[in-house]
Amino acid sequence: MIKRQASPARVADPPPSGRARRRHNLMVPMRDGVELALDVLLPDGEGPFPTVLSRTCYDKNRHIDTPRPVLQALLGAGYAIAAQDVRGRFNSDGRWGMYFAEFDDGFDTLEWLAGQPWCDGNIGMYGVSYEASVQWFAARSGSEHLKAIVPIAATPSSMWANEPLRGGAFLAPMVQYAVDMGYRSFQSTDFGSKLWAEDRPSSMALPFADIPAAQGAQSPWIAEMLQHPTLDEFWARGDFSCWDQIRTPALHITGWWDMNLPGALDNYPGMRAGAATAEARDGQRLIIGPWPHWMNNTRQLNGVDFGDQAVIDLDGHIVEFFDRHLKGMPAEDDEDPVHVFVIGANEWWASDRWPLAEAVDRELFLSSDGHANSLLGDGGLTWEIQGDSPADEYDYDPLNPVHAFFHMSADGPVDDRIPSQRPDVLCYTTAALTKDIDVVGPVRLKLWAASSATDTDWHARLVDVHPDGAARYLCHGVLRARFRDGFTTPALLEPDRPYEYDIPMDAVGIRFGVGHRIRLEITSSWSPRYDRNTNTGADNPFQESRTVVAHQTILHDAEHPSRLIVQVVERDADHASAADQP
């Protein structure tokens, strides 16, 4: 049952007076002889203490020295705080590569911590982004001392599910990230600002793998990744999807505009259904707020106000979660494991599952009179199929790609009208709504399309069109056509033959209000957010210099019912009840 409530807020007790004791650069030995640097903050008291560990590639000193209320709250609650530079970063030895050493290093660090006189053997992990993802590798390692994790903005269990690849397309800003991370500390160069400048001269370099060289930079591990354009054994080193090997309760935290939203959408249901123990399955919690990657710090994003419940006491949630699993403190009765913020309604919903049991799949069918090109075209979205609807066509030129209005992460509901004015962006829009519609859950596109090329890309974006015309971005999906049957079995296209594509588009939690319209945008590029498909069908598209203009056809007739599938929650009193704050 869905419960609508003010907010999922808890208030953490303020930290007591006194100064934490800090120990610097404790060198932790790994099984291969490499030593990793770790700092620890000890709270007041004699100890030993339950310990919360963060493993970071962004400098442990910054992690501790930057004011973080959650760390003060944890210290005040009697936790030791440990922060470690991962392998090859800052004060730690070895060579860094994205995720590839985190399984063994995570286990070895946990075992070392548990043996320290100030640690009582009960360890949790906390962190954001990369610091969140490495928690899953540590959890999969099987250490009996890891009792709970709090991954905030974690990536999905597969490196092909969002970062660095999604739908077979490469997240282009990861090139910048790789170069920045290629040394022990951040490079003091302007590589990133040059790469993503508005004129984007270097981001247009071909082949895609040459972009770092075009800026006089280097990244050995990104170069290695770009030698593996299919999901082969190389990528298994960055996979933690063996849910049945993980027995760790987790508090998953993300936001609707978090670039790593697919992580929580993958990891929460995976663990809820398949974790190794009943305790781990029952110990999963999910919070999705109206937030971007750096979350829970403002009620307004891009001029949209989400109300006074948009910012919650997340620190209180985290302390309570660790208290339960590291100290054995009892949980509150009747706590719902899922809390999601519904945009537009500007309220929190609590439920016992995700996706919501009350949500029903509804199909919005694409239609037009054959001219859906741009937001000025005649593309429509209707709840009933339009059987005689003619196809829409456009040309995709890799040398003139559609510009992405954000690169790594959207900072909220940005206005999408500028790129959607192009004729190679098809727009399908509902009529203005005459009643509110609550759409809460996963979104996917079933697309019937043909291309003159042997390989191409399909990009889809869902936007909320406000009565003033602003088109507020909600979510997106992408699929490289060769991977329509799976990432391990690429198959080129037969030119001009229609295929049905299944394109996941993350999820939304929104009330589309009266007067709003729902819009789906379809195109074949989104640069420089993703690498451009050159349309040639090369064995390794990341190494391809040649380009071909592709003539694209989107079909939406009775035999080819292209449709957007959303989850609608009917506004029925039987589906809602008043609720206390959890």
Q: Please give the positions annotated as active site.
A: 129, 258, 293
Distance CA 97, CA 222 (A): 9
Q: Where are the beta strands (DSSP E) in 220-292?
A: 250-257, 284-292
**Separation between Cα atoms, residue 118 and residue 450, nearest integer Å:** 63
Q: Is 570 buried (19+), middle (13-18) or exposed (0-12) by CB count in 10 A?
A: exposed
C-alpha to C-alpha distance for 259 and 409, rounded to whole angstroms: 5
Return the structure tokens found at 268: 């929460």
161 DSSP β-pair partners: 166
Cis (ω within 30 of 0) for the bond into 290? no
CB atoms within 10 A of CB 581: 15
DSSP 310-377: SS--HHHHHHHHHHHHHS-PPPPTT--SEEEEEBTTTEEEEESSSS-TT-EEEEEEEE-SS--BSTTS
Among 138, 68, 57, 63, residue whose Cα is nearest residue 91: 57
Contact between 177 and 167 under an 8 Å Cβ cutoff? The reply is: no
Cis peptide bond upstream of 164, omega within 30: yes
Residues in CB range of 394: below 8 A, 6 or more apart: 373, 423, 424, 425, 426, 523, 524, 551, 552
What are the C-alpha distances in Å from 159 to residues 233, 307, 474?
12, 35, 23
Position 84, amino acid:
Q
Q: Which two tokens stand for residue 573?
A: 């009193």
- DSSP bridge partners of 288: 254, 340
